[in-house]
Amino acid sequence: MKFAQFGIAPYGADTYTHQEQRSDGTWIPVTSNPPNIQGHRDSNYIVGSNGGQTECPGQALYAQLPTIRSLAQSAVANYLNLAALEPNLPKAGLAGAVVPVQVTVRNVGVTPIPAGTAVSYKILVRGTLYVAQGAQGLIGAAIPPGAIGIATVPFTVPAIGSYIVRWDLQSGGSWWNGLYNNPFRDMAFRSADWSADWISDTVPKTWFTGQTMTR
């Protein structure tokens, strides 16, 4: 099947860059992380918009997307330990800040995710590893199949630049992607510096036509 052929995880949400249209009609590249299996209703080509341009594929089939993901995942490999991660990571942050990121962990496998399993991240720049091991947040209670759990991970914002933050579970210091072929969760992130030096002036709020002033 195509997922196995191209190494795509049905439960994954891979990073890719596409074109979206501004209100002035121009098109710009936008990097996003949509689910690898989704409906047309989840897509939108207008900058800042999410879905809403179509009802495709209809409510009945749309409700079956979780089942379709599960069947596709089973066909790719025998996934007993499998988790889908949804980090509440902001799109940007101030360099050097530590941001508590709440990560929702959904158990889509057939065995419980043990209590004490860690959630952590790597940081990449243009496909090259930049931070090999981020801080960890621990899952407090075992997550049964079909259930969700929450872990909070302290995320340290890197130096100014654009990055991919790669989220995954860890057991005994080993990533689940390597242990169980669990799909990691890639998210685009930008580090910025919003500080500014402000200057003051004595320019009046109103001017008259033809008036010349020196300050």
Domains of the chain: 1-77 (no CATH), 79-194 (2.60.40.10)
Query: What pLDDT, on a 0 to 100 scale, did the predictor assign at position 209?
Result: 67
Highest mean pLDDT among 16-25, 67-76, 185-194: 185-194
Q: Beta partners for 28?
A: 20
Compute the C-alpha angle 131/132/135, nearest 5°: 80
**128: pLDDT strictly greater than 90:** yes
Output the pTM of the full model. Answer: 0.62
Report the C-alpha gap between 18 and 149 in whole angstroms: 32
Under the banding of pLDDT at 50, 70 and 90, the label for residue 14 is: confident
pLDDT digits 0-9 by tens, 77-105: 555 788 889 999 999 999 999 999 999 99
The token pair at 171 is 């057991």
Query: What pLDDT, on a 0 to 100 scale, did the predictor assign at position 78?
Result: 53
Structural element, H or E, at residue 65: helix 65-76
Residue 159 CB-density burial (10 A; 0-12 exposed, 13-18 middle, 19+ buried): exposed
Query: What pLDDT, on a 0 to 100 scale, did the predictor assign at position 66?
Result: 84
Query: What pLDDT, on a 0 to 100 scale, did the predictor assign at position 199?
Result: 56
